[in-house]
Structure 1
Amino acid sequence: MSSPFAYADTYPPPPTFQQKCSSAIRSVFTKDFWIGDYDYSFMLPAIPFTKSKPKSPPFFSLNANTPVLLAFILGFQHALAMVGGVTSPPRIIAASANLTIEQTNYLVSAALISSALLTLINIIRFKIPKTNYYIGTGMLSVLGISFTSVSVAPKVFSQMYQNGYCPTASDGTKLPCPDAYGAFIATCCICSLLEITMSFIPPRFLKRLFPPIVTGPVVLLIGASLIMTGLEDWAGGSGCTSRQTMCPSNSAPHPLYWGSAQFIGLGFSVFATIIIVERFGPPLMKTTSVVIGLVIGMIISAATHYWDRSIIDAAPVITFNWVHTFRLRLYGPAVLPILAMYIVNMMEAIGDITATSDVSMLEVDGPEFDSRVQGGVLCDGTSSLLASLMTITPLTTFAQNNGVISLTKCANRKAGFFCALVLLCMGIFGKFAAVFVAIPNAVLGGMTTFLFSSVTTSGIAIISQIPFNRRNRFILTASLTLGMGSILVPNWFSYFFTYSGSNKGLVGFLDAITLVMENGFAIGAFISIFLNLVLPEELDPDMHNDSPGISSGTNGIVELTAVEPTDSTTIDTKNESEKKKRDNNGITEASV
């Protein structure tokens, strides 16, 4: 009998390294490499009032051979979907510390650059040597400036002005306080060790410790506190609510009193455009409706002479991180609210990573999924630490990009690399960041109010998943009592402590308690976590929420997203056979 290996030497030998390089070089000059056979008509706007059926593009998995042109277009789409969320927090935080225009321009550029560089870490995914732990998710998961810091920083800066940490003029005017910003990011840098440590806890234990009854009211309170900031800007700006001053200042190109009809109209032009795009825009345009609304508002405000050209003229053409630096010091009173902020960021990251795995047609359970969650949370914490050293506030996983993936059916990491490249270019060119700083407050407020309201909606979506029995109603009521109350009356705890001695340690401790009690989401988080641990479980089958359309597919955690995908564009995640369907190139047809 002949040996089964008798013809083994007749098989073609494996390609050599030189042959692989030669094949890769030749592929660069092919149509498939640059354009492919993708139907780009999917990206064109739909004709209004017609019965045209939506097309279903092919699904591109993580490592599929995606054409360069398509990867660039979708990467640019991802960048547009997150640019508003990345540039708004540094501008709002800089205004709270009364930083100069040059410093504000720098912070917007630094936010874009930091988000781009740290997003690459998350997408590439690095394994920690000699361990089973990773840094990064290895998916198309992008990082941006956390909105949670926007709800904490203004409170911290306000206290710093009250206790003399920041200077004020003789008439009470708040002067620029870069040291306050430096103290805030330094404290964030130290407190990020909490999220880094918690990333090594198995995700299933984290979900038990922070169930929807805890995360829901916290996210709701964050959004509610942020809406007030956005609406104040919509009416003209948070720093000119008095009728004795003009907005944004008496020397502005077109100064008006706070709440003037012109300001309300500018913000409404952004809001109305978002609604129009959502109704008539194509799927890709809907994912950037917030940015499109902002652009329309910018055009209208520029045509009516509301822009201050000196802000753009003063900005450098090219910039990078550390062009401006800030004095780093620990501010003790801010530790407790910042720790609560990192707990919220971690809960948000778990929900976002779950949603990204789902729309990327990857497992949402099992060891591989737990590994991605661990790497994503660790990347969140590590990126926040590095971002603080890069002079920017903490980063977190952005969720609105999940809508882009579900609409375009492209979860390919190559699109994520192009997204990071676009953000990097936006940040390096300082004039681009200056444009966002020069946007009139009313226009920016029309956009940020919508973004912040979506955070509130996410909190409501989380709460809707829990059974409304007596125990859960009690926890919600207790957490919202002080949480919502401190948002509506922000200075209610300012005069509780009357100590005025020379013990600085005691003063700092009392200031920390005051910050927690006046920060709605922080006190709400502590109350909901405590009550969820001490109150016994209650089983009431008649009170379970079995409403159709409400799903806990993300294990009780919903992502914070600025633009929710509509039902007609959501992938049917229950079709497991569709998820397992792959071809050799990692491309499969997925029905909408």
Structure 2
Amino acid sequence: MNKNMANNYSPKELIYGLNDRPPLKETLFAALQHLLAIFVAIITPPLIISSALGFDLGTTGFLVSMSLFVSGIATFIQCHKLGPVGTGLLCIQGTSFSFIGPIIGAGALGMVSGKLNTELALSYIFGACMVASVVEMLISRLLKYTRKIITPLVSGIVVTLIGMSLIKAGINSCGGGAAAQANGTFGSLTNLALATLVLVSIILFNRSSNRFLRMSSIVLGLLIGCGVAIGLNMINFSEISSYNHFNIPVPFKYGLNFDISAIISLGLIYLITAIEAYGDITANSMISGEPVEGPVFIKRASGGILADGFNSFLAAIFNSFPNSIFAQNNGMIQLTGVASRYVGYFIAAALVVLGLFPIVGLIFSLIPDPVLGGATLLMFGTVAAAGIKIIASTRLNRKAILVIALSFAMGLSVEMVPGILDQMPETIKNIFSSGITTGGLTAILANAFIHIKEEQE
């Protein structure tokens, strides 16, 4: 990479560099724009997981609050840099979509006599998230070796499988989620029409030439959906009338349980997330006018990936889900021209404060499943499209086609026909029941062991 690339943005595009301190008014304005870009993305994974596993309103609200709280701490660590942990960039962290599938699978281990035990389900989830996070921390120390194993082709395949697998969760929400399945209204015209309204609204706002409408498309789509849902009496605000206290984070609130299959499934996602974090840190460094190669950059990238894993470990302690670096904030730095990491302190503080007030989480927990489904269906499709884009950026020779074909065949087969594993031992069944895990492991092994001598053209 050209060494001058690091300075492409600094003199021409940036108003405030990495270590500049903008005036308070401009700092707050930049922080607010970052918050608008990430807020929905942070709260959506716990809402989707809670919907899929059928958690009650109080549990869902608490999980949403803790996601905001932990994202604030994680963002501070990335921006401030604590010893070797963190990037020292304006690097925002939030709850990751990539882990939703395996987390739902881990939560299903809490099923007792045909009924889900919420506390047991969450203990398995947080136990697996905590142990598996060590994978990403180890990768941060072995960065140059792991990049040879997780190539762009492998990464693209896994990201595509993540999106494809999550579409199932999205369409379930469109139909009304677990509650609708229980009361017989799943897939009703009202639910599907509401989900469609949200989906179409987001698309219309997203295609607007007005950059503010485009940036706020998901928020606006959710607001429209919630407005209609209120008119249809699908939201009952009286349910939160008794929740007006201050939220005190309680480490290990649900305890910890460990399952090897859940740990392996999540460990693979941490492996992929580490490589994605490397790409996000590279882009952030370049946009911020910082080096994108050499010892300073390698130290920064290693610290950022280490923080990714450490923050996810911390998230499990405080009853939240794995965190990752948010790529969308790189675009926000370009948009505002503000790369100052001090802006990150204000973003972190705002997220922590929002997480400490349970009313915030509880209000968002009232979003009806069809409204959430209309938004997430598009988000998950976008994840799959991003994976396809990564695959398309690689050289698609005969080996690549074989790796792609084999990985998708194995990954999607267990998603479409889960009964294929019914005769397997329970541990094997739990490990390979996730299409992400099966397809991802297939991609890694196929890419490593399939060798084809290309014919000379």
Q: TM-score, normalised by structure 2?
A: 0.92
Provide closer, same or farther for how the CA distance between residues 85 and 492 of structure 1 changes in structure 2, counting only shifts above 3 A: farther
Query: What residue number does 1:236 align with?
Result: 176
Letter in 1 for 2:85: I
Equivalent residues in 2 for 1:359-370, closer than 5 Å: 359-370=287-298
3-state SS of paired residue (2:324): strand
Q: Which residue is 1:148 aligned to?
A: 98
Pick from 423, 441, 448: which aligns with 1:496? 423
Residue 511 of structure 1: how far off its partner (Å): 2.6
Is the contact made by 1:75 and 1:419 (CA closer than 8 Å) also made in structure 2? yes
Which one-letter code corresponds to 1:496 in the other structure? Answer: Q
Q: 2:121 is matched with which residue: 155, 177, 180?
A: 180
Check if 1:354 corresponds to 2:300: no
Per the alignment, do residues 354 and 541 of structure 1 end up closer, same or farther by CA in structure 2, a change over 3 Å counting?
Answer: farther
Q: Which has the higher contact order (CA 8 A, sep 6+)?
A: 2
Q: Is the 8 A contact 1:81 1:401 kept in 2?
A: yes
Structure 1 segment 147-546 matched on structure 2, within 5 A: 147-158=97-108, 160=109, 166-168=111-113, 172=114, 174-201=115-142, 203-241=143-181, 245-246=183-184, 257-280=185-208, 282-322=210-250, 325-493=253-421, 495-497=422-424, 510-536=425-451, 538-539=453-454
| Residue number among 114, 123, 126 corresponding to 2:70 in the alignment | 114
Which residue number in structure 1 is paired with residue 42 of structure 2?
86
- Equivalent-residue separation in structure 2 for 1:310 and 1:176 (angstroms): 26
Relative to 1, partners in 2 of residues 1:268 and 1:95: Cα closer, same or farther, differing over 3 Å? closer
Shift of 1:539: 4.8
Alignment partners' CA distance in 2, 1:441 and 1:63: 43
**Bigger CA drift: 95-104 or 187-196?**
95-104
- Which consecutive residues of structure 1, in runs of 5 or more, have no partner in the other structure? 1-55, 128-133, 247-256, 498-509, 543-592
Question: Which structure: greater helix fraction?
Answer: 2
Cα drift, residue 227 of structure 1: 1.0
CA distance 1:491–1:155, change in 2 (3 Å): farther
The amino acid of 2:95's aligned partner reads: I
Change (3 A) 1:296 1:320: farther
Amino acid at match of 1:94: S
Cα distance in 1 for residues equivalent to 2:197 and 2:455: 48
- Residues 193-248 of structure 1 deviation map (CA, whole Å, 9 limit, x = unaligned): 221111111x3332222111111110000011111111111121145347xx24xx
Aligned residue type for 2:159: V
Kept in 1: contact 2:107–2:124 (CA 8 A): no
Task: Indicate conservation of the 8 Å contact 1:166/1:180, yes or no.
Answer: yes
Q: CA deviation at 1:476?
A: 0.7
Counterpart residue identity of residue 225, structure 2: G
How high is the TM-score relative to the length of structure 1? 0.72
* Structure 2 counterpart SS, 1:144: strand
Shift of 1:292: 2.0
Q: Displaced runs of 4+ in structure 1, greater than 6 A? A: none
Paired positions, count = 446
Contact 2:14 2:339 in 1 (8 A): no
1:100·1:176 contact (CA, 8 Å) conserved in 2? Answer: no
Cα distance in 1 for residues equivalent to 2:414 and 2:179 = 21
Does the CA contact (< 8 Å) of 1:334 and 1:515 recur in 2? yes
Q: 1:71 aligns with which of 27, 38, 41?
A: 27
Post-superposition shift, 1:482? 0.8
Amino acid at match of 1:151: G
> Alignment RMSD, CA only?
2.1
Identity %: 29
Shift of residue 486, structure 1, vs aligned partner: 1.8
Deviation of the 1:362 alpha carbon: 2.5
Q: Which runs of 5+ in 2 are unaligned?
A: 1-11
Greater Rg by CA:
1
Q: 1:412 to 1:536 in 2, by over 3 A?
A: same
Cα offset, 1:324, TM superposition: 8.2
Q: Distance in 2 between matches of 1:352 and 1:531?
A: 26
Q: Distance in 2 between matches of 1:342 and 1:106?
A: 24
**SS at structure 1 position matched to 2:111:** coil
SS for the counterpart of 1:240 is helix
Tell me, what secondary structure is at the counterpart of 2:141? coil
Partners of 1:140 and 1:81 in 2: CA distance? 14
Distance in 2, matches of 1:123 and 1:58, equals 18
Q: Which residue of 2 aligns with 1:584?
A: none
- 1:389 Cα offset (Å): 0.8
CA deviations on 1:360-392 (whole Å, 9 max, x unpaired) are: 233322222211110111001111111111111
Residue 100 of structure 1 pairs with residue 56 of structure 2: yes
How has the CA–CA distance of structure 1 residues 448 and 374 changed in structure 2, closer, same or farther, with 3 Å as cutoff?
Answer: same
Alignment partner of 1:462: what SS?
helix
2:86 paired with 1:125: no
Shift of 1:403: 2.1
Residues 124, 259 of structure 2: 8 Å contact kept: yes
Other-structure match for 1:139: 89
Q: Is the 8 A contact 2:251 2:319 kept in 1?
A: no
